Amino acid sequence: MTEPAFSLCVYCGSRPGANPAFADTARTVGQWIGEHGGQLVYGGGRNGLMGIVADATMAAGGRAVGIIPKALVEREWAHQGCTELHVVDNMHERKRMMADKADAFLALPGGIGTFEEFFEVWAWRQLGYHDKPVGLLNVAGYYDGLMAFMRTGMEQQFMSGTQMDLIRVDSDAASLLPELVQAAGLSPAARLDAI
């Protein structure tokens, strides 16, 4: 099997969410990964946006690497159809393996788990534990409130513009995905269409 052109870690909800745009975007992201010879790294679930992005990646010819804690497998939430499914002991091991296998990170809409994972890889980037791009896909304004809160953090001098510059925020998957791959150093701008 050939090496994937890139490996994108996607954090997203284990529910589909109320707005059909969330599922549509998860499908678009997975399709883009697969069509560009990439590999999805994600939490290994079969439900909600997680299952949608994994299925779309594999349907488009990409690889889906799921990493899931044993407790969630026991609840029958694991996606047994993944290209690779790694069962780990706990959440810390899951997140570390996901980070190790990724060239870049992307958060789609999701709940508390998605928020926690997004903020953790952003904090790790600020602290110099990695130098991989971190993206936030603001589908249908889902993260508008979060962005406003982060601006409050800057206004109140708990955050800086330098910290905000460590993340890339966009509402359009077609713009953000190639930007993350390019920022990871995996393809110069002129070659993005070829991968």
As a three-state string, the secondary structure of the chain is CCCCCCEEEEECCCCCCCCHHHHHHHHHHHHHHHHCCCEEEECCECCHHHHHHHHHHHHCCCEEEEEEEHHHHHCCCECCCCCEEEEECCHHHHHHHHHHHCCEEEECCCCHHHHHHHHHHHHHHHHCCCCCCEEEECHHHCCHHHHHHHHHHHHCCCCCHHHHCCEEEECCHHHHHHHHHHHCCCCCHHHHHHC
Query: pLDDT per position in the chain (195 positions), as tens?
Result: 589 999 999 999 999 999 999 999 999 999 999 999 999 999 999 999 999 999 999 999 999 999 999 999 888 899 999 999 999 999 999 999 999 999 999 999 999 999 999 999 999 999 999 999 999 999 999 999 999 999 999 999 999 999 999 999 999 999 999 999 999 987 544 444 544
Q: Look at residue 66 in the predicted model and tell me its pLDDT.
A: 98
Q: Look at residue 188 in the predicted model and tell me its pLDDT.
A: 46
Q: Look at residue 192 in the predicted model and tell me its pLDDT.
A: 44
Q: Look at residue 186 in the predicted model and tell me its pLDDT.
A: 75
Q: Look at residue 1 in the predicted model and tell me its pLDDT.
A: 58
Q: What is the pTM of this model?
A: 0.94
Q: Look at residue 185 in the predicted model and tell me its pLDDT.
A: 87
Q: Look at residue 76 in the predicted model and tell me its pLDDT.
A: 81
